[in-house]
């Protein structure tokens, strides 16, 4: 993984000790590339390879230098995506921490959904401008989270967690995902256009594919009702940012973007200057203490492997 100190954060609070009690961890175990003498030496004896963000591609040559390797445990979304030739890993057990890493993204999205319902950002701007008592029943008559409609685009791992977390609120939840039965989540499945027309808040959780790049464009944004909020914690590519910028400049919509294209935006990008947009620096995923959740998951998976058990999360083909 890279940078190397990422391992210290993931395995902090005693997790490194737990891991060392399970397996022999060489002193030079943390690698940020595979073409060094330390890497060659470590891979020659390695039975389990723990990877994380910034891991370089795992080529057939890398796997050939690890003849004893039997499992890759990834502290991120997909171990298979690290492989340049998936067929070369035949016989290896692949595990990932996609679900633990999806949780903070879902929590962020739900927090932003609720804050959007209260128009917290607009209220903060108004309060700063007036610096006096504000009559909530007059100034914020348009706000609230009782029986508002939230549209979830994509029942990905994050999307499913969002659907689960939203069950505790008095919200009507719509789902657009042509690949799943929305009924299994206890929500109404609808076409994308209907979701955009009916929702007060729309939150994006679709993966980046040929079908989803630019999926939310000017036509879809035009369907949103005045005052609606769009939240994107998926990837910048699924959204037409120029179309969103035009809507934001008109003052008709609000938005929350934790991801952009490019990411980060250049300093002179016009989105920085839009007041009805909340921009955060890709913080929805695991940060700070949440990294230890990934570390705990990895330790738990290694515990199962050492005991001769299969990983709890076993990758089988491409995961959505």
Catalytic residues: 235, 282
Report how far residue 178's alpha carbon sits from residue 189's, in angstroms, rounded to the nearest whole number.
9
Query: Which residue in the block uniquely carries the two structure tokens 């464009």?
Result: 217
């Amino acid at each position: 993984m890279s940078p190397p100190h990422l391992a210290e954060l993931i395995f902090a609070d005693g997790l490194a000790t737990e891991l060392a009690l399970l397996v022999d961890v060489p002193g030079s175990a943390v690698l940020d590339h595979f073409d060094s003498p330390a890497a060659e030496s470590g891979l020659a004896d390695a039975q389990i390879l723990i990877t994380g963000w910034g891991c370089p591609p795992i080529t057939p040559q890398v796997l050939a230098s690890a003849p004893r390797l039997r499992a890759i445990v990834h502290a991120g979304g997909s171990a298979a995506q690290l492989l340049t030739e998936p067929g070369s890993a035949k016989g290896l057990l692949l595990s990932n921490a996609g679900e633990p890493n999806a949780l903070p993204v879902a929590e962020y999205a739900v927090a932003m959904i609720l804050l959007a319902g209260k128009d917290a950002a607009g209220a903060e701007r108004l309060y700063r401008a007036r610096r006096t008592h504000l009559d909530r029943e007059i100034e914020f008559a348009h706000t609230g989270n009782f029986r508002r409609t939230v549209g979830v685009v994509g029942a990905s791992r994050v999307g499913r967690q969002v659907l689960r977390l939203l069950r505790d609120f008095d919200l009507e939840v719509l789902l657009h995902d042509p690949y799943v039965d929305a009924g299994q989540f206890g929500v109404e499945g609808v076409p994308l256009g209907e979701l955009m027309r009916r929702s007060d808040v729309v939150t994006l959780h679709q993966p980046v594919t040929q079908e989803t790049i630019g999926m939310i464009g000017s036509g879809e944004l035009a369907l949103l009702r005045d005052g609606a909020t769009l939240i994107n914690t998926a990837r910048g590519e699924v959204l037409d940012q120029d179309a969103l910028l035009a809507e934001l400049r008109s003052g008709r919509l609000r938005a929350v973007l934790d991801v952009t294209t490019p990411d980060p935006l250049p300093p002179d990008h016009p989105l920085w200057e839009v007041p009805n947009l909340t921009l955060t620096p890709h913080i929805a995923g695991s940060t700070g203490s949440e990294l230890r959740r990934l570390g705990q998951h990895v330790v738990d998976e290694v515990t199962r492997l050492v005991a001769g058990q299969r990983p709890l999360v076993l990758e089988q083909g491409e995961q959505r």
